[in-house]
Structure 1
Amino acid sequence: MEIFGIIILGVLALIFTFFKTKWVNSQPAGEGKMTEIAKHIADGALSFLKAEYKALSIFVIVIAVLLSFLAEEENSHWLIGVAFVVGACFSALAGFLGMKIATKSNVRTTQAARTSLSKALDVSFTGGMVMGINVVAIGILGLSVLFLLFSNIHTVLGIEPWRVKKVLEVMIGFSLGAESLALFARVGGGIYTKAADVGADLVGKVEAGIPEDDPRNPAVIADNVGDNVGDVAGMGADLFGSYVSTILATMVLGLTVAPMTKDVSGTNPAILLPLFLAAAGLVFSIIASFFVKVGEKGSPQVALNVGNFGAVILTAIASYFIIDFMFDKHININGLSVGSVNIFYSVIIGLLVGTLISLVIEYYTGKDRGPVTMIARQSMTGAATNIIAGLSVGMFSTAIPVVILSLGIIFAFEMAGLYGVAIAASGMMATTGIQLAIDAFGPIADNAGGIAEMAALPKEVREKTDVLDSVGNTTAAIGKGFAIASAALTSLAMFSAYMETSGLQVIDIANAKVLAGLLIGGMTPFLFSGFAIQAVGQSANAMVEEVRRQFREIKGIMEGKAEADYEKCITISTRAALRHMILPGAIALTFPLIVGFTLGKMALGGFLAGVLVSGVMMAFFQSNAGGAWDNAKKMFETGVDINGKKYFKGSDPHKAAVVGDTVGDPFKDTSGPSLNILIKLVSIVAMVIASLLSVS
């Protein structure tokens, strides 16, 4: 009956977010120009999501019907299509709720910044917290309710009771639906926001020499809308998919652990453990959120770190007692007897891997850190040297995280086999609630600064929002690194679950078909990234031409006597995102099918390995390079010392840094973060079709 406790906890967490939302809505939203701009942003974001979800609803229905039609009774059931629809709808809901609270929090953060930095952090972080807890609560509820329903399906449909293995195989549809919608949301939102951002920067800041978020820039509203549909709604759907996929993959691998005498709800505790860890992480994310406080002269980054590390430490302590309660002293994994304490060690390994990778990424992308300072100083000789420096930083930044990941995998495997690796991933994802809260606070602060600029508020207001925005750039880079690391461990767990589902014991790399699959898999993230980046480039080109046209044809726009046509730029971004998100999504869904049905299940295993290795490298490289370029540009706001002279915004080195930032924009906000969904989604598709494939 403990599963009911998890369901109740999920409901209580949603009630918590309801009251936090009421608190945000009760904060003053300013007046006049501020509320007008905020309404433009909210309306634009809602309009895009409606158009995107309307287009995706057709895709969801078609795939659900196909899944139900292809399901084999002995291996699956037509209800896998229902699970797919539920997963897609829950993923869409997670993104929508995040976007909704973000568009309420942004203007209220601006108003709070007129009072104090502490108040501005309270509002922006609370907005992010609502999103983070909603994502986790919806994920726990979806998985728990479906597991309970499918485990007792015989009482509803009058059929033979399902084995747990069949329950989990049908639930894979839930994960597939969540990840599929997340991919389209992430790619579509990324194209939208970066088309507007690049267009606004290149024409506004570089050509016209006007400040960022200047109301005279026609693309400025689309840029702020993009922060919500890409960095909030897209990220919400992304982390929702990662969260449920990690838990479900670990539950599948729990089948390899022999049943314990400490029975939990009549089900092997190894299967239910990831749900219990997720529940603990949810509770401690909420508790740790109250640790995030900052004085007027304090550091928001330190305050956020206190909350993050607080959640990690509390979850680590609680996991020991959860595992001790659920398991005997010794357990049997694939015929080997190991101490149950080894499972606890696997959780700690996962938490440590996530924390260490976050610290490394903060070093490579943090403002005023060595790598970012080097990029800023390289701007002295132009955009080309700035770009070269950023590329090198991005490449260097893959080394240490990959070593940490590799050691984590080895140690977790030594502790409890592949189940240990999956549990490490579950441990890392346990604190998703506060991790996502910290991530979502960034675009809220960014929007707050944009509103302050467009509403012509006093300089000290923008200074406070800039402090939060700068921290947000770093937390966003850390959040993306966390998502990539968790995706890597999750994908490895899913790879193992695929082998378990397909009945493969080994994958022979000397087999020509396997080698071909490996190479095709290694190529796939490059092809995927190419289409995503090309989409941003083409869309940004259209945006640049439109902004130039308005500057040229709308008389008085530069003098502030005429208003820019914001709607035209919003329309360009919307149409571009909806048109260009299809091809990258199709690659993720069709390539596993093509490889599997033409080369066989062993070759598909090689394909999954290729996607995993290549995708993780590309994701770290692109996300970190983009984050470093962004903060190198931000350094010019306070001045960069180059050869004994300080350079500020508007200087030639600053303009070079802006160009570098525009190159990094699609890296860090479109293709880079989308890759972590790609490497998971191909594994889920492989698990769904495994029983239909030939062995060769």
Structure 2
Amino acid sequence: MSLLSVSRPGWDGHGPPRPEPPGGGGAEPDPLPHGARLLAQDSQVHQLRLDAADYTLVAAVLVIALAALVVGYVLIREVLAAGEGSERMREIARAVQEGAAAYLNRQFRTLAVFAVVVFLLLFALPAESAEERIGRSVFFLFGAVFSAVIGYLGMWLSTRANLRVAAAANEPSGGRAKAMRIAFRTGGVVGMSTIGLGLFGTALVVLVYAGQAPRVLEGFGFGAALLAMFMRVGGGIFTKAADVGADLVGKVEQNIPEDDPRNAATIADNVGDNVGDCAGMAADLFESYAVTLVASLILGTAAFGTQGLLFPLIVPAIGVVTAVLGVYITRARAGEGALRSINRSFYLSAGASGLACAVAALVYLPGSYAGLSGVAPSVRELPGNPAVVALVAVLIGIALAVVILKLTGYFTATERKPVRDVGQSSTTGPATVVLTGFSVGFESAVYTALVIAAAVFGAFLLSGSISVALFAVALAGCGLLTTVGVIVAMDTFGPVADNAQGIAEMSGEFEGSGADVLTELDAVGNTTKAITKGIAIATAVLAATALFGSYRDAIGSALAGLGAEIAVGEFLVYAPNVLVGVAIGAAVVFLFAGLAINAVSRAAGAVVYEVRRQFSAKPGIMDGSERPEYGRVVDICTRDSLRELATPGLLAVLAPVAVGFGLGVGPLAGYLAGAIAVGALMAIFLANSGGAWDNAKKLVEDGHHGGKGSEAHEATVIGDTVGDPFKDTAGPAINPLLKVMNLVSVLVAPAVVTVTVGMEGSAPLRTVIAVLCVGAIAAAVIVSKRRSTAIAESTGNNELVG
């Protein structure tokens, strides 16, 4: 089978295409064969014109987006007004603040160069107009900057809130309720900023570009996804290198508690919580929000015309209002667990979103496809009710969020059987802990993947038209987006509670009820983080599936412009070249996860050596007469995490380009399918197995199976050490990886078609492009693998040998 089987009417494949015969007398010649019409007809983006009422609606959405930012500012003032505790606590917090800020500043300087290069490369990609090309590149920077702002804000506030949560927990009366409120409203700030900036950027593009907005939004989503992936990978390597190193030397070798100030890695561990879990995850959820909106607007324009362009803005605008409700009603009740309180607020917020979206769909959308404006004639003739289709799709997305919350909570909460089974296995050693955790992760991945698949298929069945069905899948993602404000609050709650407990333990000023409150909040935070990872994975699958429609549209538009068709066999899954693409896509996910985990292993090895060196060189550390050198460990984690960014970045960006130019657009579609399927399973497995190991350790530390210092405790610490890079580095980074690869494919698909169809004798050029991309990836992987995990103890400079 050829790289891309195409044909043009009246063209024999040699020389320039012959012109169409002049019209007259008979019907106008059909410029495209039937097969090409099937590919391009329903997927082409129409140049819509918005009227005054449409612009008023978009302006209202902009106002709601700005209102979310105002609410976030109000919450910031409330959080910062809380007490900061003792001078010792403030000193520890300042060290964490300085380390986190220094890391992110260095990371942003590194990524700024990469962003500028991508900004310039986007100009080289095909576009329907110069205005569209410029807008796509400019809003790529908007997406990247917004992602960076969200990440930095999450870090900045969490490093100040952790101190206040610890101080509140130590208050003699009402400390539990106050500490929980501060932690959750800190997350509320990040949540309001995420949905505010995401909705603001999207609505701004629609306001400025109207019918051209979907194509410009590709750049916005790509910028958000690319930067989020880098922040997730870099922050994940930093936090887990410090965490693993601190646990292996402190807990296992020296038998001292977690966050003991005598451990030189404790400050780096707390810094890592903020640059990985706060900054990285906030940026990840922002790009999920942005990319899902991008896919919805692109597909909505083709399926529902003007209403399809605007309705995806209405749904997340409703989510802003319900997110405010969810944040403000979250409070601890006497005799009620913190997780129960948080879940209740989530359910109420989700229910309110569902009701409001139902009203919006029935009021805004017409009762028949004939009532839609700016759509193709074939769409007007479809049977059914577009309002009902949109309503059910949105409700599917909201229900998906609720089900994943329950499912993930079951597999990772301390009171549930899976985590208790992992804890029980600790009585027979670390090997059984690791094996039981693996089984929990594998089993949970099956159920979660089936639930996500059921949601996608349910949305797909809502219409017999492929364009409308894909738009329904995107709307399911929009429905899930209505919960993102609360989801981000739940996620940030975790590292804030974890840091608060660390500050309390390092200060040595907590005992009794204050310490118990922070232990409870930390365990709840582990579960909420696992839940948000599950929902982030669901958004990745929904967005990536919807982006398949955008990919299809990009190919159809390019072919229509060239007057060519593509052979249907190019997209059949049983075609050998497509199966090759599926296999490569699946393999890239494995390679990406392996690189991330290996990077943590190398960096953690350097941390282990440095902490051991300090205990050996400074005997007074153990009795408190000498102070550990915290800054050296922070420097190691910063250096190693930033050094590892290039390889996964090149893999995500260049692999789709290599497949597209080397094998064609059909195998590239297979590549995306393989990556989505395997990536979803891999991410769920990594997140849930890691969460189960972490909470099994908490279970033992609470006194089960011998408690702290027992052999069972040592076994669960080893299990948690294995799970750390699973749940906080490789697993979460797969989410932005899937969307980066999808968006790169959407962006390069027209170029692949143009080179393949529009340029005769282009095989050498395609081969050169593919070989260069593969060569760059191979070189980056080889360089990465040459960094040995062994530590050159004789050098004394903490460098890795290799």
1:229 to 275, 278, 281: 275
Shift of 1:510: 2.7
**Secondary structure of residue in 2 paired with 1:384:** helix
Q: Identity over the aligned pairs, expressed in percent?
A: 39
The aligned counterpart of 1:412 is 459
Q: Does 1:605 align with 2:669?
A: yes
Shift of 1:72: 3.5
Q: Distance in 1 between matches of 2:489 and 2:439?
A: 30
Deviates more, 1:23-32 or 1:502-511: 502-511
Q: Does 1:515 align with 2:579?
A: yes
1:201 to 240, 243, 247: 247
Q: Does 1:33 align with 2:92?
A: no
Shift of 1:576: 0.8
The aligned counterpart of 1:594 is 658
Shift of 1:585: 1.6
**Secondary structure of residue in 1 paired with 2:384:** strand
Stretches of structure 2 that go unaligned for 5 or more consecutive residues are 1-55, 371-377, 464-468, 557-565, 758-802
The aligned counterpart of 2:396 is 349
Q: Distance in 2 between matches of 1:118 and 1:126?
A: 12
2:76 to 11, 17, 21: 21
Q: Does 1:439 align with 2:486?
A: no
Shift of 1:331: 2.3
The aligned counterpart of 2:649 is 585
Q: Does 1:113 align with 2:169?
A: yes
Q: Distance in 1 between matches of 2:91 and 2:332?
A: 30
Shift of 1:673: 0.6
Deviations 1:311-354 (A, max 9, x none): 10000000011111211112268553221212101111111112
TM-score (structure 2 length as normaliser): 0.82
Q: Does 1:59 align with 2:114?
A: yes
Q: Is the 8 A contact 2:88 2:507 kept in 1?
A: yes
- Aligned ranges 1:324-363 → 2 under 5 Å: 324-331=362-369, 334=379, 336-339=382-385, 340-363=387-410
The aligned counterpart of 1:157 is none
Q: Distance in 1 between matches of 2:533 and 2:304?
A: 36
Q: Distance in 1 between matches of 2:125 and 2:400?
A: 39
Q: Does 1:535 align with 2:599?
A: yes
The aligned counterpart of 1:312 is 350
Q: Does 1:254 align with 2:300?
A: yes
Q: Does 1:190 align with 2:222?
A: no
The aligned counterpart of 1:674 is 733
The aligned counterpart of 1:158 is none
Q: Is the 8 A contact 1:257 1:331 kept in 2?
A: no
The aligned counterpart of 2:141 is 85
Shift of 1:69: 2.9
The aligned counterpart of 1:630 is 694
Q: Distance in 2 between matches of 1:104 and 1:331?
A: 52
The aligned counterpart of 2:545 is 492
1:624 maps to a residue whose letter is N
Deviations 1:407-437 (A, max 9, x none): 1112111124111111111101121001110
Q: Distance in 2 between matches of 1:258 and 1:14?
A: 30
- Aligned ranges 1:142-291 → 2 under 5 Å: 142-151=201-210, 164=211, 166-259=212-305, 268-291=306-329
2:66 to 1, 8, 11: 11
2:730 maps to a residue whose letter is S
Q: Does 1:68 align with 2:132?
A: no
Shift of 1:78: 2.7
Q: Is the 8 A contact 1:588 1:678 kept in 2?
A: yes
Q: Distance in 2 between matches of 1:69 and 1:79?
A: 13
Q: Is the 8 A contact 1:7 1:144 kept in 2?
A: yes
1:293 to 305, 317, 331: 331
Q: Does 1:366 align with 2:413?
A: yes
Q: Distance in 1 between matches of 2:447 and 2:382?
A: 32
Q: Is the 8 A contact 1:41 1:103 kept in 2?
A: yes
The aligned counterpart of 1:136 is 195
Shift of 1:205: 0.3
Q: Distance in 1 between matches of 2:150 and 2:336?
A: 32
Shift of 1:637: 2.0
Q: Distance in 2 between matches of 1:401 and 1:258?
A: 31
- Aligned ranges 1:653-692 → 2 under 5 Å: 653-692=712-751
Q: Is the 8 A contact 1:397 1:624 kept in 2?
A: yes
Q: Does 1:556 align with 2:620?
A: yes
Q: Distance in 2 between matches of 1:144 and 1:20?
A: 24
Q: Is the 8 A contact 2:430 2:715 kept in 1?
A: yes
Q: Does 1:469 align with 2:515?
A: no
Q: Is the 8 A contact 1:291 1:307 kept in 2?
A: yes
Q: Distance in 1 between matches of 2:357 and 2:327?
A: 19
CA 1:649–1:533: 2 relative to 1, 3 Å:
same
**Secondary structure of residue in 1 paired with 2:470:** helix
Shift of 1:609: 0.4
1:543 maps to a residue whose letter is V
The aligned counterpart of 2:40 is none
Q: Distance in 2 between matches of 1:298 and 1:33?
A: 32
Shift of 1:296: 4.5
Q: Distance in 2 between matches of 1:605 and 1:582?
A: 25
Q: Distance in 2 between matches of 1:295 and 1:426?
A: 32
The aligned counterpart of 2:359 is 321
Q: Distance in 2 between matches of 1:422 and 1:9?
A: 22
Deviates more, 1:290-299 or 1:604-613: 290-299
CA 1:275–1:647: 2 relative to 1, 3 Å:
same
**Secondary structure of residue in 2 paired with 1:693:** helix
Stretches of structure 1 that go unaligned for 5 or more consecutive residues are 152-163, 260-267, 641-645
The aligned counterpart of 1:380 is 427
Q: Distance in 1 between matches of 2:351 and 2:669?
A: 36
The aligned counterpart of 1:159 is none
Deviations 1:235-294 (A, max 9, x none): 0110010001001101111123244xxxxxxxx111111111001001111012122111
Shift of 1:562: 1.0
2:494 maps to a residue whose letter is G
Q: Does 1:392 align with 2:430?
A: no
Q: Distance in 1 between matches of 2:91 and 2:334?
A: 29
**Secondary structure of residue in 2 paired with 1:557:** helix
Q: Is the 8 A contact 1:69 1:78 kept in 2?
A: no
Q: Is the 8 A contact 1:41 1:225 kept in 2?
A: yes
The aligned counterpart of 2:150 is 94
1:34 maps to a residue whose letter is M
Q: Distance in 1 between matches of 2:81 and 2:485?
A: 23
Shift of 1:533: 0.2
Q: Is the 8 A contact 2:398 2:480 kept in 1?
A: yes
Deviates more, 1:175-184 or 1:330-339: 330-339
The aligned counterpart of 2:7 is none
The aligned counterpart of 1:449 is 501
Deviations 1:631-666 (A, max 9, x none): 0000012222xxxxx410110011010000000000
CA 1:70–1:346: 2 relative to 1, 3 Å:
closer
TM-score (structure 1 length as normaliser): 0.94
Q: Distance in 2 between matches of 1:653 and 1:528?
A: 33
Q: Is the 8 A contact 2:246 2:608 kept in 1?
A: yes
CA-based RMSD: 1.4
2:505 maps to a residue whose letter is E
The aligned counterpart of 2:184 is 125
The aligned counterpart of 2:5 is none
Structure with greater Cα Rg: 2
Q: Is the 8 A contact 1:71 1:80 kept in 2?
A: no
Q: Distance in 2 between matches of 1:252 and 1:656?
A: 50
**Secondary structure of residue in 2 paired with 1:397:** helix
1:394 maps to a residue whose letter is G
Q: Distance in 2 between matches of 1:58 and 1:663?
A: 34
Deviates more, 1:397-406 or 1:495-504: 495-504
